[in-house]
A and B are shown apart, each in its own frame.
Chain A
């Protein structure tokens, strides 16, 4: 048992560090696969798009120094790894002299907040709906209503956000004003501060983006949960629970949901990557000031350093989220103990 638990911990850590390393390496290699000198090419493209690049010389010099393009490839690689792991992600060309680190630092909390809250909502609601779908005491009308609410399951969140923006940001108007704001993470003209008013504005602005993720995602969890509940209903301990004359609601949460939630947690870890894919696009649709919009501005401005840095940090965030889920898993499944005896 003990060795198995240590194995579990080490394996999870290995996957985490491997993911970070693979991400850094991919980001190092990909621009070098493109034909020509990456920096010259980029500056050329920027010039072509915008006619004139401010501080072009400074940028070229900063990037040359950073890449050390005259060094042999492996020296460049290890320097890149070192810089990246220290989160020294270089300058954003479009926002020079702002560093990518600064920009990411401002955007990341918004993304984590949006995705985190959406995840808590769809995971809770989804699993609850799934459990109720499988439970024999659930009222009939709920068993009809829940599947109906799952109609939009598997529609891409970005497309669904278009529909939501159109309906709630344009069509439905109260006092000549749209029901929900179309863009932004908080009211225009305000600055982030810790006041109730600002917090309310954040919730108001975050509602549609969060719903775009939740409404198309919770159905998956409901279906998965329902499947698990059905499997668990066939377990021997369910027959004994019935024979014991336990209260039905107690059996539901202590015997069924408690056991069915375990594979759902594992599935959550697996789905983090897809979730971040979706949220990047949703942020772009809502011009939400998170990582997605940052990447989009990088794409629009041909700001390759920004694209690289933002992608890397998001991949690390994803790996970290998976690691956290994996490390909390032993707390809810007694069969995998981290302590090891």
Chain B
């Protein structure tokens, strides 16, 4: 039996142990699922939740009213796991990341929500607590590594300043130097860049410096925001591999934001799909590719280009509604091939279908099993 998650959980004190959501699922039956459930085989990451985002909502203020960038999304990140956050441009994936990091720039602002890292409620921290928490709890590998390094500081100083800001003045300069060399080695950077300025490095090198910097304090969670998008394909792949390697060696949990489904498939354990500020599906990576549940995920997977066959693009347009004034019910219904009246009336709650796999679509509510069967049949014989 599929469990519906309460979209508005009660407020948690920061000291409460993280709640393992959907735990009751194991006691329920599995017969109503469209495919046999698999235990999270091949999934990286344990069962301990390190980051829990609950009901996070972020708006951008405009003169014509607020744009809803992130609309009440919730998800968990498990220890040692790599989660991919995907969706088309403007779907709110980067805003989500910056929301988690408390870096939403005006006119954006967080309306409500809860972000817990290892049981610490990030939104309740005051300025100084937040400063100390940053980079030790959550670190960022930024989108534009090209411009993310201070042009008037040497590479070493930009890494040293994180270490000294959080661990105090380092008296043993030799040890500090060794520590930075070790970071360089982790990300495959030569030691000679130690004394260089950012403008003397290539794009790939700058991105690696950002990775080295991101893991320097062994944070609980690292968020890589389109960390590879600005690089060319070859360097992209190398940097992505570096990211995974460093993550495994240092043992952090990782959120990778991107739109290159092919690249993500190779490095993440689970994929979270966002559409117009909503989380529509979150699933182990094999499930997403082999058996996408949400109609939007299906469209997305279908649109991955293949060398073997040429097929027409199914996605013909982006998000169509006014983001200030989203449609009632399901956010995707205007573009959904299976939408019916209920989709306009009730907003689909996240439905827990399997371990670490949730989907927000009425089709997977057990009351509408018949509809689902028909829909799947229509997909099989278009």
Q: Please say whether the chains A and B touch (CB closer than 8 A).
A: yes
Q: Tell me if B101 is interfacial: C-beta within 8 Å of chain A.
A: yes
Q: Which residues of B contact A220 (CB under 8 A)?
A: none
Query: What chain B residues lie within 8 Å of A244 (beta carbons)?
Result: 134-135, 139, 161-162, 165, 213
Inter-subunit contact A241/B142 (CB<8 Å): no
Q: Which among B101, B131, B133, B143 has the greatest number of chain A C-beta atoms within 10 A?
A: B131
B140 at the interface (CB under 8 A from A): yes
Tell me if B150 and A335 are in contact (CB < 8 A).
Answer: no
Complex: A246 Cα to B213 Cα, angstroms: 13
Task: Report the bound CA distance from A242 to B139 in whole Å.
Answer: 11
**B152:A259 contact, CB within 8 angstroms:** yes
Contact of A254 among B131, B136, B140, B161 (CB under 8 A): B161
Interchain CB contact under 8 A, A334 and B105: no
Which residue of A has the minimal Cβ distance to B134?
A245
List residues of chain B with CB within 8 A of the CB of A241: 150
Q: Interface size bucket, B side?
A: 20 to 34
Q: Which of A87-95, A121-129, A232-240 makes up part of the contact surface?
A: A232-240
Q: Report yes or no: A237 in contact with B147, Cβ–Cβ below 8 A.
A: yes
- The minimal Cβ–Cβ distance linking A26 to chain B, given in whole angstroms, is 39
The A-contacting residues of B in range 171-230, CB under 8 angstroms, are 197, 199, 210, 213
Give bound CA distance, A259 to B150, whole Å. 8
Please give, as numbers and ranges, the residues of chain A lying within 8 Å of B112 by CB-CB distance.
none
Complex contact B148–A240 (CB within 8 A): yes
| Interface flags, A254-290, vs B, CB<8A=1, else 0 | 1100110010000000000000000000000000000
Contact of B161 among A243, A246, A258, A262 (CB under 8 A): A246
Given the known interface contacts A239-B103, A245-B165, the answer about A335 and B136 at a Cβ–Cβ threshold of 8 Å is no
B139 and A243 within 8 A (CB): yes
* B149 located at the interface, meaning its Cβ lies under 8 Å from any Cβ of chain A in the complex: yes
Q: Inside 8 A of A259's CB, which chain B residues have their CB?
A: 150-152
In the assembled complex, the Cα of A240 lies from the Cα of B162 at a distance in Å of 11
Q: Complex Cα distance A259/B199, Å?
A: 14
CB distance from B377 to the nearest CB of A (A): 48
Q: Is B132 an interface residue (CB 8 A)?
A: yes
A246: chain B residues at CB < 8 Å are 131, 161-162, 165
Q: How far is the CA of A236 from the CA of B148 in the complex (A)?
A: 5
Instruction: Give CA–CA (A109, B82) in the complex, Å.
Output: 68
With A236-B148, A240-B142, A240-B148: A247-B131 Cβ-Cβ less than 8 Å: yes
Task: Please give the residue numbers on chain B whose beta carbons come within 8 Å of chain A beta carbons, in ascending order.
Answer: 101, 103, 105, 130-136, 138-140, 142-144, 146-153, 161-162, 165-166, 197, 199, 210, 213
In the complex, 25 of the A-B residue pairs with CB atoms within 8 angstroms, ordered by the A residue number, are A236-B143, A237-B147, A237-B149, A241-B150, A242-B103, A243-B134, A243-B138, A243-B139, A243-B142, A244-B139, A244-B162, A245-B135, A245-B136, A245-B166, A250-B161, A255-B150, A258-B152, A258-B153, A259-B151, A259-B152, A262-B152, A332-B152, A334-B152, A335-B151, A335-B197
* Among all A-B residue pairs, the 9 with the closest Cβ atoms: A245-B134, A236-B147, A243-B140, A334-B197, A236-B148, A245-B131, A236-B144, A245-B135, A240-B148
Q: Could you tell me which A residues sit within 8 Å of B by CB distance? A: 235-237, 239-248, 250, 254-255, 258-259, 262, 332-335
